[in-house]
Amino acid sequence: MTNPNAHDIKVLNSLIETTLDSADGYGEAAVESRDPDYTSLFERRSIERQQVADDLSEAVRGLGGDPESKGSILAKAHRAFLDVKHALLRNDDTVVGSIDSGEGFIAAKFERALEDVSISATTRETIRRAYALVKADHDEVHDLNRSLEGQRDASNPLYPQ
């Protein structure tokens, strides 16, 4: 017998996988950062993302499914690439830029899930609540990255003074 909630479970598990990737990425960024303020921010975000994943996992269990328990292999490969890039460039700007890119990906994935007309109203509300947290984080990191880019541009000798 198939679970009538199979589609909702599939969508939620996909979001769990991506959210766990995000939590892992923030955890690694906290280790890589040389700035204590960034380290604190990244550690806090890692914990927050784990909580979002836990909330989504609870929703999957409530629908009679088995929640995803690990991130994707592709994300692990991407983080390995970023580790090499960061080691070569040795600055927190590359970490923030990479997180900004990842935040854009996760926010877009939540947006696509919210647009899925096949999910139930309950699942949509669960996703909407999680997305509100993800979106706020995305906006904050994007603003931070833009600020860092502006600082880099302003320190460029070709930048008009």
State pLDDT tens for residues 77-120.
Answer: 444 445 544 444 456 666 777 787 778 888 999 999 999 999 99
CA distance 150 to 142: 12
CA distance 57 to 59: 5
Q: What CATH number should be reported for the domain holding residue 114?
A: 1.20.1260.10
How many structural domains is the chain composed of? 1
Please give the average per-residue pLDDT across 22-40, as a whole number: 85
Of 128, 4, 130, nearest to 64 by C-alpha is: 4
CA distance 89 to 146: 18
pTM, 2 dp:
0.81
Judge whether 158 lies within some domain.
Answer: no
Judge whether 70 lies within some domain.
Answer: yes
CB 40 within 8 A of CB 145: no
Judge whether 84 lies within some domain.
Answer: yes
Pair of tokens at residue 131: 């997305």
Widest pairwise Cα distance in the chain? 70
Within 10 Å of residue 93's Cβ, how many Cβ atoms?
14
Judge whether 75 lies within some domain.
Answer: yes
Average pLDDT, the chain: 82
Judge whether 159 lies within some domain.
Answer: no
Q: Could you list the residue range(s) of the whole structural domain that residue 26 is in?
A: 6-151
Judge whether 156 lies within some domain.
Answer: no
Please give the average per-residue pLDDT across 142-153, as a whole number: 75
Phi, psi of 76 (to 5 degrees): -65, -40
Q: Categorize the per-residue pLDDT at 65 as very low, low, confident or very high, splitting at 50, 70 and 90.
A: very high
Judge whether 45 lies within some domain.
Answer: yes
Judge whether 17 lies within some domain.
Answer: yes
Within 10 Å of residue 38's Cβ, how many Cβ atoms?
18
pLDDT tens by residue, 5-25: 999 999 999 999 989 988 888
CA distance 86 to 42: 15
Greater confidence (99 vs 130) lies with 130
How far is residue 140 from each of residues 34, 67, 73, 120, measured CA to CA in Å? 20, 29, 27, 30
Please give the average per-residue pLDDT across 46-55, as a whole number: 95
Residues of the chain with pLDDT > 70: what percent? 78
